[in-house]
Structure formats: C-alpha cells, structure tokens
Structure 1
C-alpha cells in the first residue's frame, strides 16, 4: 500500500491566507497610485510642451514686429487680439536689462494686478513673479537685426498644470484613507466573526452534549423503576454506554478544534456506512419518513481524522434532515473513487433548497436560514474538510423546492 506523495501542488483547493489578501490589497493600491502619477506626469509634460510651443510662436511674432522695419501693424494687432487671449499661462515682457516697461498692463499677460496699488507696489509684485519665472523656465530672448538683445519674454506654466501636479497627491491621500478604512473594516469584521464563532462553538457544544445528557437522565430513571428486571437493566446499561461514548466523541471533537489533528489512513466507505446506520436509528420521530439511500464504493481510503470527518458527515445529514419539509424525505449518500487522485462524496436531499444568496453565504460562520440555529454546522464542515484535510467542500447544486447537493473531494490513498 502506497501513500500519495504529500506535495503542496497536490492540494485540491489552496486557500488564500489573510496576510495574502492584505498584501494583494496594498499592491493593488500601490499600482493605482503609480499609474495615477505616471499618467499625470505624461499629461503635464504634454501641456508644458504645448505652452512652450505657444510662447515660441508668440515670441517669433513679437520679434518680427519689433525688429522689422516693414512690420505690419494690423497683423500684430490681429495676433494680439486673437492669439494672446487664447494663451492660458502668465507672461512678462522686459527689455534686455529685465526692466518692465510702462504701462505694466501692456507688458504682462494673464497676470492680474490690483489697480489700487501704486506703481512701486505693482513693480514689486511683478519682480516676485519674474523671480519665480526664472526658477521655472529660461526666458525667450528676442534679438534685433544686429544681434542685440531687444527684449525677454518670461513665462511659467498655467494654473492647470499646478492643479494636475496636485492630483496625484490628492489621489494618494484618498487611496490611503480608503486603505486605512478598508483595513479597519476588515479587522473589525474578522474580530466580530471570531466572536460569533466562539459564541457559536459554546452553544454548539451545549447543544450536542444536551442530547446524550438528557438520554442518560432518562436511562437513570428507567434503572430506578426496572432494577428488578435483569434483562431491562442490561439493555439500559448498553444504551447508556452508547450515550457515554457519544459524549466522549463530542469532547474529542471540540478538543481538536484549533489544533492540528492527527490524520490516519481511514476506510472512508466503512466510516460513512457505520455513521449512516447509527444515524438511521436515531432519526427524529417526525410526522414524515426519511430514507437514507447509500451508494458507496467499497474500500475507499483517504488520510483523515475519524472523529472530525465523522462530524462532517453528521452535520451534512442533520442539515439534510432539517431541510426536508414534506411527508417523505430522501437523503442520497454516494462515495466514488473514479478519479485517480481524488475521492468524491455526494450528499443530496430533496428538501426545501436554498436561494442564490443563501448558497453564497452558507459556509459563513453565524449564517443560518433556520429559526433556531447558530450557523456553525457548515462553517465547521468547511474548516474540517479544507483546513485539516486539504480537501474541498462546496454546494454543487441547490434549487428551491427541489433540494441541495453537497460535494466533498479528498485526496485518495491506495489500499
């Protein structure tokens, strides 16, 4: 008998851990930020180039008018009236010594000055503009016919470019806020989920222990009244042993939650067969009949923990039983090993089925469609199958009014 080699690649459905989800979240945010900065810089560069071409064109026209004896005044007026207003960036025209002519309104473009200020105050403001323009871009120099500096055109980029450069910073701040809020919401959700799981586990333990405890109390009463009948006493003791064994099984199950359980080679066919026989004898005495139909391939082996996998079968059968509302219910349990590497367990019922929303939330801790329940049965099944047995559990099909089909896949071991 050979065991399949245990490799990471053999995992049926590798689950993404919490830190991987957080890492993906931060990587996505980082990529968005970089993309925003990159494309904004491209846009800013294109706008600056367009503005530089515009200033070069204006400088050429200005030079043509000021240095040519045959300058067309009407042509320059047309340019000044139609092209200059289309320029969106600030400009200051000075002489060769960086002196601004008078009146200053004729030598500045897209610079608003308070007319109530004195000329000295206006020149002081313009000098500050000149200093900032020198730091931003070199001036466009205009020469006369003899190569002498006639004037200089200082300029800087428009307010639109300044706004575009601020956008990545705002995007970073907004994304950072969303990342922090997302992290806080995610952490809060995880904490609430953990609290609901622990509360649910405590209630589930009390619920599961309640049945055998009630039975034991009943057996004690029977012993009191039937102590003179040896056969009755012997039969009662046997049933008490069954309930005590049941309590022991429940205790072992809960002791394994949260720790790595020991997995052994188990005959899954026998395990399911034995539990189905046990469960059939203890089906609820309802005003309906429930039949369990078994189709189990013999001698199907897998590496499993007996108590925990038994718990999975119990939860699925209980879930199927509680979903059946008609007079007659059928639960089909099939085990197949048609695949070379996997075994497939199918549990199908003809109960009330689930809505699409219920199907999506069925394995979430605390979710339940029952009036009385804590929503832990299926979440426990998922943890046992996927976390402890490296398998996969899913709802293969569910239709309202027709029933639900659960599918479990485990790695197969050869005999």
Structure 2
C-alpha cells in the first residue's frame, strides 16, 4: 500500500506538474521558510532590545533618584543602596556600553567612572579616551535617543546614552549569514547531485543502448544465418525447418521490442500462473546454457497453484536476467542453479534464484542494483537495475540479495503479492 501511494504521488507530479512548476513550488516554499526565519529572528531581536531598554531605564531612574536627592552623598543609606545597585544589579542586567554625560551631552571626566562596559586600553591619553567616547556617543545617538536624568525641579542634569547587547547584532545578521551558508551548501549539493544524476542517466542510456544491441544481436545473427542457408539452398536443412527457426527468432525480436517499449510506461498486467512462466524461461535457458561451454543444470521446485497479477514480458525478463547472472557467476566447468518458490502467510510469495557461483562481498551486495555497476569486464550494469525497477515499481514487489557467500554462491529473492488461484 505504501509503495502504491508513493507511485500514485509520483504519477500525479509527472502528469499534472511540469518540471518548472515543481521548481516554482519549491522556490515559493523555500521563500516562505526564509521569511518565517527572518520574522521569528527579528521578533526575538525586538524583545531583546526592549529588555535592554528597560534595563537602561532602570539604571537612569536609580541614577536620577540619587543625583536629584537633596542630601545626595550625605545620605549614607542612599549612597550604599546606589553603590549596591551599581556593583550587584547593573552587571547582571546591563552587558552593553552606557555613557553618562552632562546636561549638554558632553562626556564627563574621568571617563572610566562615567561609562559602563567600555574598555580603555592602558596608556590611552585623556584626549584619546575622549575621542573614543565621543565617537561612541555619535553611534549611540543614531540608534536610540538618550534617556534624560532630571532633578526635582525637572531640569536636565545628565543624559544616559546606550546601545544594545552584542547578541542583538548577532541575531540581526544571523539569518543572512545562515542563509548564505545554507545557500552555498545547497548550491554545492545541487551541483553535485545534478552532476551525479546526469552521470547516472548517461550510464543508463549507454547501458540501455548496449542492452538493446545485445538483446537484438542474437536473433538478428541467427536470422542472417538462416537467410544465408536459404540463399545458397543448403540441402542439410529444409526450407520449412529454416522458416520455423526464423519465426522463433522473429518472435524473440518482437518480445525484445515489447519489453523495451514497456519500460517507462504503465504496463498492462494479467493474472497468470507464475510457475508456468518460470518453466518457460527455464526451458529456453536449458537450450542456451550448453553454448556457454559449461555444464550448468537448472533445478526447479515450483508451485503450480500460485498466480499473480504481472506483465508477462517484463517479469519473464527479470527471471531471464537472474538466470543469466547466475550462470555467468559460475566460473567452474559445471554448476547448479536452483529456482524455487515459497508462500508467506501474509498473502505474499517468494521466488528464490540460487547459484553455486563465486558469490559476492558485502560491498558488492550494497552496489549490485545500482545503474551502471557491473562486476563483469564487458558488462554495463543495467540488468539488475532493470529487474529492480520492474519488480518494485511495476509489480509492487521487492527484489534483494537474500544471501551471498564468497566462493559458495548467491541467492536472489523476489517477493510478490499472492493469488492462490485464478
């Protein structure tokens, strides 16, 4: 069910959405995500600014209470409270620069005593300290208006200039920096993926061309041979026998053309007896195997009661590929291929193709279905990838390497939905 749903979704995109429409949708979604990140980050920035402004406001109010008091420094409790506030409260809530000026906005000496969180390098002259403070005042005033400190008669006696914490700046630039980094990685990833995809597509097309040439080559060569026999009227075989063999080759060509025409389309399925289909393929291979120069026997253990909804041409192609790979993996002069079936209680059945060949390493097992991958010197690595596509995408099944031991052989498994009877 899950695979059907995925395929139906894929069909929907292929049928109703073009490639540029999919890209447009993805671009819109990405743009909305970017806007969401920026909005969320800026909302946090505003909350931090308000928090910093409240802290400065508290500092200004406490300073105003102290400086506008009539007895001022003569009130020991007031002095102690203010000093406690400066030493214990301010460092916890204010971690950004603050400058306390006179009523005209001019910095007051000594500058270390009338500023907060501003570092003056050792050895700086008074003029250099003043220049630094004046420069910071200009920047602070451009960002936030100063808070006025007044006496009891509402006269301005001082001004508090401030900026914000470094965290605010970091959060302001974070979306831009993050998006640039993400953009670079996305670009690199897209470029790499696109290159890999194009390379894989190239291998697939080359493989398809070679596979087509290979599939067509045998019956075409046979036809040419029969034509030569008829042309020169060789008495070793009758014309009727030659025509009969040519009909078989033409039928084979038609089967090959049908198979390739169904790749990429939605093939029609019919409810067929699986064991009979497998037996037909095995019989075909029984005649071909002696030409490989090896004595390879195909032992069948089939269940005649098993039916499944399949496309005959494509599924026969899968069995052919598995048998061909099994035969080619047998490097000795003789070997055995076992093909047998098992039923699963969950309305599934399995087809196993086991050989006594050279086997595979775990690394090869992971790569064996990848397009273009082949262990043969003259192979093009398309047969098993086509098998996987046919079984999993067209027949809602699974195909995998069940077991493989180097030097002992390999077992491929096909899992399909089950119909016990037609």
Q: TM-score, normalised by structure 2?
A: 0.76
Counterpart of 2:143 (choices 124, 132, 144) is 132
1:69 paired to 2:69:
no
Taking the aligned partners of 2:234 and 2:131, their CA distance within structure 1 comes to 120
Tell me what 1:342 maps to. 348
Give aligned pairs, total.
Answer: 402
* Cα gap change, 1:42 to 1:399, in 2 (>3 Å): farther
Offset, 1:341 = 2.9
Q: Report the CA distance between 1:122 and its aligned residue.
A: 7.2
Q: Distance between the aligned counterparts of 1:37 and 1:357, measured in 2?
A: 47
The match for 2:163 is 156
Match of 2:19 in 1: none
CA RMSD of aligned residues (A): 4.4
- Please name the residue that 1:210 is paired with: 217
The 5 Å alignment of 1:82-121 reads 88-95=95-102, 97=103, 99-103=105-109, 105=111, 107-110=114-117
Q: Note the C-alpha offset of 1:174.
A: 1.2
* Alignment partner, residue 401 of structure 2: 395
Q: Which 10-residue stretch deviates more, 17-26 or 265-274?
A: 17-26
What residue number does 2:332 align with? 326
1:239 pairs with 2:250: no
Q: Which has the higher contact order (CA 8 A, sep 6+)?
A: 1
Measured in 2, the distance between the counterparts of 1:226 and 1:144 equals 128
1:74 deviation in Å?
Answer: 10
Match of 1:181 among 182, 188, 212: 188
Q: How has the CA–CA distance of structure 1 residues 76 and 204 changed in structure 2, closer, same or farther, with 3 Å as cutoff?
A: same
Structure 1 unpaired stretches of 5+: 1-7
CA contact (8 A) 1:29 1:175 kept: no
- The equivalent residue for 1:273 is 279
Partner of 2:418: helix, strand, or coil?
strand
SS of equivalent to 2:266: coil
Q: 1:119 to 1:177 in 2, by over 3 A?
A: closer
Distance in 1 between residues matched to 2:5 and 2:400, nearest whole Å? 12
SS at match of 2:291: coil
Higher deviation after alignment, 18-27 or 309-318: 18-27
- How far 1:45 moved relative to its partner? 5.5
TM-score of the two chains, using structure 1 as the length reference: 0.77
Runs of 5+ consecutive residues of structure 2 not aligned to the other structure: 15-21
- The 1:29/1:119 distance shift into structure 2, 3 A limit, reads closer
C-alpha distance 209-115 of structure 1, shift in aligned 2 (>3 A): farther
Bigger mean CA deviation after superposition, 269-278 or 251-260? 251-260
Say whether 1:383 aligns with 2:389.
Answer: yes
Contact kept? 1:26, 1:179, Cα under 8 Å? no
- The question of 1:405 aligning with 2:408 is answered no
For residue 197 of structure 1, report the CA deviation from its aligned partner: 1.6
